[in-house]
A and B are shown apart, each in its own frame.
Chain A
Amino acid sequence: MSRADALAPTIFGAGTLALLLGLWEYLGAGQGVALTSVLPPPSRFIATVAESGFRIGLGSQAAPLVQSVASTFFRVFAGMAIAFIAAIVTGAALSLSKVATWCLTPVLYVLAPIAPIAWIPTAIVVFGISNVTAVFIVFMGVYFILTIATLAEIRRLPEEFTTIAGNLGAGPAHRWFRVVLPAILPGVFTLLRTNFIAAWMAVLVAEMVGLRDGLGAIIMMGRNLFNNELIMFGMAIIGVSGFIVDRMLALIAARVLWWRI
Chain B
Amino acid sequence: MVADLTVLAPSPEEPALKVDRLTVAFPGAGAAARSPIVDFSLEIALGEITCLLGPSGCGKTTLLRALGGFARAKDTGGVLFQGQWLKEPTPDIVMIFQENNLYPWLTVRRNVAFGLPYCEGTREEKRVRLEAMLRHVGLEAAADQYPRELSGGMRQRTAIARALVVNPKVLLLDEPFSALDVALRRRMQDLMRAIWETTRTTFVMVTHNVEEAIMVGHRVIVLGGRPMTVLLDERTEATPKDRYAPETLALQRRIEDLIE
Contacts and interface: CB of A to CB of B under 8 A. Distances in A.
A179 interface: yes
A259 B106 CA distance: 10
B131 interface: no
B118 interface: yes
Interface residues of B, number: 24
B104 A170 contact: no
A163 B166 contact: no
A161 interface: yes
B114 A165 contact: yes
Contacts of B95: 163-164, 167
A164 B89 CA distance: 10
Interface of A is mostly: helix
Contacts of A178: 114
Nearest to B163: A168
Given A182-B105, A259-B105, A167 B100 contact: no
A167 B89 contact: yes
Which range holds the interface residue count of chain A? 10 to 19
Contacts of B100: 158, 160-161
Contacts of A161: 100, 103
A160 B90 CA distance: 15
A169 B166 contact: yes
A166 interface: yes
A261 interface: yes
Contact of A261 (B94, B104, B118): B104
A160 B101 contact: yes
B68 interface: yes
Contacts, number: 53
Interface of B is mostly: loop
B105 A168 contact: no
A168 B101 contact: no
A260 interface: yes
A254 to B, nearest CB: 14
A168 to B, nearest CB: 3
B166 A168 contact: yes
Interface in B94-110: 94-95, 97, 99-101, 103-105
A216 B256 CA distance: 75
Contacts of B68: 167
Contact of B99 (A160, A169, A179, A259): A160
A91 B206 CA distance: 37
Given A167-B91, A168-B166, A169-B119, A179 B97 contact: no
A260 B148 CA distance: 9
Given A160-B99, A169-B166, A259-B146, 19 more contacts: A160-B97, A161-B103, A163-B89, A165-B114, A166-B89, A167-B94, A167-B95, A168-B91, A168-B94, A168-B118, A168-B162, A168-B166, A169-B118, A170-B114, A179-B103, A182-B103, A183-B103, A183-B105, A260-B104
Interface of B: 68, 70, 89-91, 93-95, 97, 99-101, 103-105, 114-115, 117-119, 146, 148, 162, 166
Which 7 residue pairs spanning A and B have beta carbons closest together? A169-B118, A168-B115, A158-B100, A160-B100, A259-B104, A169-B91, A259-B105
